[in-house]
Chains A and B, each alone.
Chain A
Amino acid sequence: MAIILPDEPTPIAKVPSTENKTGGWRTFRPIINYEKCIRCYICWKFCPEPAIEFDSPDAHPVAKPQLAKFDSVKINYDYCKGCGICANECPVNAIEMILEEKLEED
């Protein structure tokens, strides 16, 4: 058999890296308490992944009626690695980090 060489001159990924669901690396899962969230988007700004996404204003409970016209936020657990920066930065402590294995048990 002859030497088998790759077709391309250098490796070219045909699968987007979004296929790599890095959420599986997570030890702690951030959970947003929408009763507290003031929709300030600081978590969205700080998330290094970024795994915090905008959602429609009425997709989640709203803490105060005057916030109802603003987009809400949600966490994309497919990519959230559980670093906890969002929970650390949240000015109203609306994000709690909970051990994944505990959630799996429940």
Chain B
Amino acid sequence: MAKMILTGNESAAWGARLSKPKVVAAYPITPQTSIIEKIAEFIANGEMDARYIRVESEHSAMAACIAAENTGVRTFTATSAHGLTLMHEMLIWASGARLPIVMSVVNRAMAPPWSVWTDQLDSVAQRDTGWMQIYSENNQEVLDSIIMAYRVGEKHNILLPTMIMEDAFILSHTAEAVDVPEQKLVDDFVGEFEPAFKLDPQDPGGFGSLIMPEGPYMEFRYKMALAMDEARKEIRKVTEEFAEVFGRKYPGLVEEYRTEDADAIMVVMGTIASTAKDVIDALREKGKKVGLARIRYFRPFPYEELREIVKKADMLGIVDRSYTFGYGAALYTETKGALYGHTDKPIKNYVVGLGGRDITPDVLVKIFDNMLKIAKDGVVDREIEWVGLHGDERWS
């Protein structure tokens, strides 16, 4: 194992390299570009034995991955923001075709207003595409999650694609020390791609056929729903197996941090969780009992874990770095939906950090203080609150 100083994007490229996809098809977009530049460099240097397909759009990138994966080879791609949303149609095709493609996504705000900075709306808006979704906290997790995503997705009882998110710039362009595992270990862990089916001239077959309303369209969808449910168990199992081989223990679908005996627990995805851990340590020293539940997998959604977590505190504060216009942000509504009938504790939605607005410890301390007050009073002051708007004295 070699420790290297890598950015999140370099970590993603290393995760792809170690997993040995045979085809990479991608289109550049800030802040994803350095992922595919690095992969192109690996291929050009002969360090990666893959075919790199240059395409004219992200829609085509995903189409190329779908076609390649259908021939029975492992594929990889990466994108961000407008590139991801342009892929939307093909994302649904990939999962319905049951192709375990793995993709890196750099979470960037959607325009307008134009912004290249972090915001999770781009991937949250792909919630319903049938892809598994992992939100990373640091560069090590970016690399490791790609390796685990292939292992989970390619199981024949799963056969679903996975996207691995990293917050724009905060991970994508930030260099940290990363353990790059030995190729042999990854080879053994991920294994050769064994497709459950493939395009084969010796055994011809068509894919994506029409199914009439009375045909098994619903049954195919139900099989996919079962696979996504099954993935929960596989994810928990594979993170255990990963720990045995690589010595790094990931907590399945949700990471809990100091949730025992907490009065208030923050639920969040991505890098905010990392800063929040420092804040929690500082607040705990002052006797404020706060904890954290970091959602690693937004899909499949960890409803079972959340039903246990809510028992440990007097309230949950759901922090979203995106907004779903109409009612609350996605992590909030999902959490509330999962907890309906399981708790009557107060739950509040905090909308933060859109368009890359920096989330400092000061902001998090204010949110935790507000959460503790709600935990004490048992009353939610505002169900959905946007934090840190210009001029708002509650947060300045």
Contacts and interface: CB of A to CB of B under 8 A. Distances in A.
Interface of A: 1-5, 10-11
Interface string B346-378: 000000000000000000000000000000000
Interface stretch (B314-322, B323-331, B387-395): B387-395
A3 B389 contact: yes
Nearest to B113: A11
Contacts of B114: 11
Given A3-B391, A10-B113, A11-B114, 17 more contacts: A1-B391, A1-B392, A1-B393, A1-B396, A2-B391, A2-B392, A3-B389, A3-B390, A3-B392, A4-B389, A4-B390, A4-B391, A5-B389, A5-B390, A10-B112, A11-B112, A11-B113
B350 to A, nearest CB: 15
Nearest to B393: A1
Interface in B93-127: 112-114
A11 B115 CA distance: 12
A11 B112 CA distance: 8
8 contacts: A1-B392, A1-B393, A1-B396, A2-B391, A4-B389, A4-B391, A5-B390, A10-B112
Contacts of B392: 1-3
A8 to B, nearest CB: 10
Contacts of A11: 112-114
How extensive is the interface on chain B, given as a class?
Answer: under 10
A45 B153 CA distance: 51
Interface of B: 112-114, 389-393, 396
Nearest to B114: A11
Main secondary structure of the interface of B (DSSP, over half): loop
A46 B390 CA distance: 45
A82 B27 CA distance: 25
Nearest to A11: B113
A13 to B, nearest CB: 11
A10 B112 CA distance: 8
Contacts of A3: 389-392
A101 to B, nearest CB: 27
B382 to A, nearest CB: 13
Contacts of A1: 391-393, 396
B254 to A, nearest CB: 33
Contacts of A4: 389-391
Contacts of B112: 10-11
A3 B392 CA distance: 5
A11 B390 CA distance: 16
Nearest to B390: A4
Nearest to B392: A3
A71 B159 CA distance: 66
Contacts of B389: 3-5
Contacts of A5: 389-390
Nearest to B389: A3
A3 B393 CA distance: 8
Contacts of B393: 1
A27 to B, nearest CB: 20
Contacts of B391: 1-4
A3 B112 CA distance: 21
A102 B391 CA distance: 48
